[in-house]
Amino acid sequence: MTKETPVHLPEGYLDFFMQLESWQNKQQISLQKRLEPVRENSLNISEATEPLLNIIDIDFDVDTYQKLYTGFLDFMLEDRSELSADLSLIRTAQSQFDWPSIIEEITNENRSYFTNLANLYQLNPEVLLFTAEHSLRPLIRAFARLYYESWLEIGVKHWNSPASCPFCGSDAHISRIRNEDGRRFMFCERCFTEWEVRYLYCVHCNNDEPGSIRIMNLENDTAHKLYLCEKCKSYMKTYDERQTLQTVDMYIASVQTIYLDLLAEEKGYNGKSATNNNLY
């Protein structure tokens, strides 16, 4: 998706995240070829009370992750040369990292662990967390894809914690309205899982009272909307495929529509910032 935005994004901002997603996609495709199909047809995520990643035994191979991490540092050194000093320090320290713990704490989104680790080795905590998180995402997405295909066969529709991903537990920041039938799906930027929610519904507080949920359209842009809940004062960005008759890359759509987050927050609505996407 390419379009002019109502606010000026930092130079190179969108290009970086497009390159980042491209790198992650290449790694995921390679990993996907080595994974066994899921045979647990009895899974019913609609009855689960925790994200699937917390209740199934997934083996995130440590050696594979270390190779991904080293490759991601190479990618970052090429695409974000202004961070070369921070990245070089991380590269020097990584031989001392407790990799199983890093995988566990990234999976649990435990930011304080990485703050403490950064202090221990005198590293930039934001850069450390960013590299640890985004280098694991190809593995998370590869496994999520296997289970997502299984859920489609089962017929999963409604997850009981609609603001967070049923696979990895990460908070969602955008939804889409599907062109062919007008159904609404949340999207996880972390593992690319989608799950269905009701059309007029607040995923944060479960509010569905008539008149208490507003849909705000931008001038000259009917495809990008804000769902605003007057009950809990939260918002959710949404892309409406019916307005353009086109599907888009939802990860890039969320990155590119940072202006919607700014607009909602200026008007007094609260959202949850994307997990560690901000190095700009």
HEC-encoded secondary structure of 60-121: CCHHHHHHHHHHHHHHHHHHCHHHHHHHHHHHHHHHHCCHHHHHHHHHCCCHHHHHHHHHHH
Q: Sign of the C-alpha dihedral, residues 168, 171, 9, 280? A: negative
Please tell me the predicted confidence (pLDDT) of residue 42: 47
List the pLDDT tens digit at each of the 280 positions of the chain.
Answer: 445 555 667 788 899 999 999 999 999 999 998 887 665 544 555 566 788 888 877 889 999 999 999 999 999 999 999 999 999 999 999 999 999 999 999 998 899 999 999 999 999 999 999 999 999 999 999 999 888 766 666 555 556 788 999 889 999 999 999 999 999 999 999 999 998 899 999 999 999 998 999 999 887 888 999 999 999 999 999 999 999 999 999 999 999 999 899 999 999 998 765 544 566 5
Task: Look at residue 229 and give its three-state secondary structure.
Answer: strand
Q: In whole angstroms, what separates CA 175 from the centre of its chain?
A: 12
Question: What value, to the nearest 5°, has the Cα angle with vertex 164 and ends 75 and 153?
Answer: 90
Task: Look at residue 266 and give its three-state secondary structure.
Answer: helix
Residue type at position 174: I
Please tell me the predicted confidence (pLDDT) of residue 150: 66
Distance between start and end Cα atoms, the chain: 21
Please tell me the predicted confidence (pLDDT) of residue 280: 58
Judge contact between 177 and 238, C-beta under 8 A: yes
Residue type at position 113: Y
Q: In whole angstroms, what separates CA 236 from the centre of its chain?
A: 14
Separation CA 269–CA 201 (nearest Å)? 16
Please tell me the predicted confidence (pLDDT) of residue 8: 67
Beta bridge pairs of residue 195? 186
Separation CA 279–CA 80 (nearest Å)? 10
Please tell me the predicted confidence (pLDDT) of residue 221: 87
* Domain limits, the chain: 13-37+47-154, 174-266
Please tell me the predicted confidence (pLDDT) of residue 260: 92
How many CB atoms sit inside 10 A of residue 172's CB? 25
Q: What is the DSSP annotation of 14-34?
A: HHHHHHHHHHHHHHHHHHHTT
Please tell me the predicted confidence (pLDDT) of residue 276: 47
Cβ burial of 211 (10 Å; 0-12, 13-18, 19+) is exposed
